[in-house]
Structures are given as C-alpha cells and as structure tokens.
Structure 1
Amino acid sequence: MKLLLVEDNTTMQATLSRAFERRGIQVVTCDDGERALAVWRDTQPDAVLLDLSLPGKDGLEVLAQARSSGLKTPVIILTARGTVGDRILGLNTGADDYLPKPFDLDELEARVRALVRRAGDAEAAPATAWCGMAVDRESGAVYHLGQPLELPPRELALLRAVLARPGHAIAKERLFELVFPGEHDVQPEAIEVVAYRLRKKIAHTGAQLVTLRGLGYLIKANP
C-alpha cells in the first residue's frame, strides 16, 4: 500500500512516516499545498492523508481541485480544526474521513486500511441498476435514465446505500454510519433530515424512499 502524506509540520510528518513504514506501508510526503496535486497525480497513492493548514494552498482547495480533476483516491483529513462545521465542510468538499488532531496512530491506520479496502471493493463491483437508476461504482455518481442526479454528498450517499438493496430495509444506524462517517458529534436524527430531502428529489424517478418505523429505510418502485 502506498500513502501520500500532505503535512507541513516536519515533526508530525517524520513521526507518521516512520510509524506507517514500520507497519509495511510506503509513504510519500509533501509539505506544500502548491505541489500537492502534482505529487498526488505522479505517485498515484492508494490513500491520502491531508492536512488543511498548508503553505501555498489550503488543504481544502487542494482537495476540491483533486476531485474536480477526477482524482478519486480516498482522503482522510488530519487537522486541528475539529469543529462540527469544519468536519462537514471537509466531507462536503470530497474527503472520505476526518480525524482531528491529536489522534491515535492505531485508529488512523485502521481508518486508512478500511478506506483502501472499501475503494478496492467498489472498483471490483459491477454497476447496479434499478428503477431507471444506475450507480457508477467508479465515480459514485447515480444516473437516472442516463442523466446524472445532481444531489448533495449526503443525499447521494444515502441513495447509493438504499440502491444497494432495493426493496430491503436498511437500519437507520447503518445508514447514519454511511452518510455521516466519523462524525460523532452529529445527532442520529440528522439522517431523517437527509432522507426527507432525498425523498422529494427522487419522486420524479418513480422510486419511493419509505420509512419503516423501528427498522430503517428502504427504496421501492411506486405502484
């Protein structure tokens, strides 16, 4: 496994590099936001650890440019900016996970391996199609009759989750984990808001997002 570490703090960079290399993970480092995107493209890492407070260019700007240019590498943001608003902004910009400093190295390694494993599973899985909707496993986009559905990241994550098992109930707790990964400060009821918004936006597709009290949510075709 190859890891790109974008971190300008030399002590943190050296500590993480040594720790991961001892665990059999190759680490490529970059300490400048201006060069980060070029290093990212050149090295093709399996995952990226991205600090936000970088010289030259902010980490969020680097992430936004990476996603807009088609780079789909899993990204974990590592930063001292640990408020709920900061986490939401990072995840909405395209991060896959968010870990505020200070953090536990074992937890960080577990999150990295989980993201890389999940990305590999997604690449291996075929595209799914149901009720005129298809999930592009490579990009994560959802299409209806060949046209992309323009949805915010959280609604898109929820739609992908229920489309994985149409007609089957998925527990609210599991959906919360998929829609709000690593966000321990978000109230569980937040998933209901996302579901409410998604329900209205997919009404034209002929699919219906159904709430099952005590069980969770499922998606089914309108009769």
Structure 2
Amino acid sequence: MYFSRVIVVFFLLGLSACTRTTVHLHAGELPQTLQDGVKAGLESEGFKVSPRANAYPYDESVVLYFPHEGIDADLQAIDKVLTSHGLSAENRYTLYRDKIGKHVYTAGNIGLYLLPENAKASFNEESRVRDEFPISESDAEFISTDCDIEYVYELFDDGRALVSDFSFPVGESTLARGTWQASENSVTLISDGEDFRYRKRTFHREYANQFSDHNISYHIILEPEDYYRLPFGCSYKSTFSEAF
C-alpha cells in the first residue's frame, strides 16, 4: 500500500511539473519554423504552450507576467529558450487592479509576444515604407489590446466618438457616445462627460513571413495616461497593413 502511494505522489508531482505555467504565445509574424522551435523549446522546459493571435501591446517583443513566487525561474527558462533561437524579449510585469482596464496575466500564466528582429536584413530589396504615414485617428477602428473584453473606438472627422463592445448583438453594441480631439504633445483626449487622456504613438514594422516576402504594418497606439474605468482604461490600436 505504501509503495503504491509513493507511485501516485510521484505521478502527481510529475504531472504538475509539466503544467506549472501556461505561456500564451503570440508569434504569428515569425517564420513558422521559428514559431515551432520556440514552442517546442518552451514545452521542453515544462511549460504548457497556448498559441494565441492577440494584438501586440507594444512595438517590441515582451514577456508580460504577474509577479509571484517562482516567477524568476520561469522568466529565466523563457529567456534561455529565446536566446537559443536568437531572440530576446523585455520582461514587463502587470498587476491586477479591480475595475481597471489593464490586461491581467495571473500567477501561472505568462504572455509572450514575439516580433521579428532585424526583419529588414532578410529582404532582398529596398524598404517600401511610405514617406507619409498612411492612417490617422479617424481612418480606422481602434481595437483594445490589453483588456479581457475586446472594445472598439470609432473616432470621426466631425469630433464624435463611439465606444462599442462588438460581442453584443447589432444595435446593442454601443457602450458610450462622446467626443474626441487631438491635443498637443501627441495626446488624444476622449470625453463622455469625463475626460480620458491617451498618449499617442505611431510606428511601423517591415518584415517577411510565410505568406509574403515583404509586409509592412503601420500602427497607431493610444495608451491611457491614468488608470480609468472600463472600457476607457484599455490601450487601443489601429493598424493598416500591406504586402508586396
């Protein structure tokens, strides 16, 4: 009886070691072989890997995690895998705050967002980035990047702003109506009676993937300057992409 109990204990310990942490892997712009290699490397370190396709919260590769006991070992293991594939990512922690629109990675869950590094070096032709940035605040929808629910900002040329949750039925998705304006120092102000300030960042990425040898994506990110109530506490991104 004692021997059988020991076997059960070792089995459970081994099972828990294999599923200690889930890495939510966002790497859709990397070559498929590199994605597969990173996934296999993480699994060999004992992680459960969940491939995801969320919007990237930053214009660089990052590891998002909740600080807790044991996280240092997980971060070191992830860094080891990335280094073995010639990749790197900045570690950034995210804390849970009630009713705050920041994405939450709880203990046991890590978000790994990987973007191509030195993508231009792989091109056999000159850059095709446009001289003039092709989108503005009112050209396209802004999708939240770091909230559990996907919210949408629509900003119109006449200064109107709509905030929606497209998981609701058509005709019921609008959460708030207000106004918006571009302020000085790259700040966008959205108001529904209360003011919400966002730092505006623009950037582009030029890269190759398994679908096309030359891809360019242009992005506008609106990052809240304070911790606001939902859905205003989310970061939002608008993207325009083209391939050659």
> Whose RCO is larger (CA < 8 A, sep 6+)?
2
TM-score range, shorter chain: under 0.3
Over alpha carbons, which structure has the higher Rg?
2
Between Structure 1 and Structure 2, the one with more helix by share is 1
> Which structure features the higher share of strand residues?
2
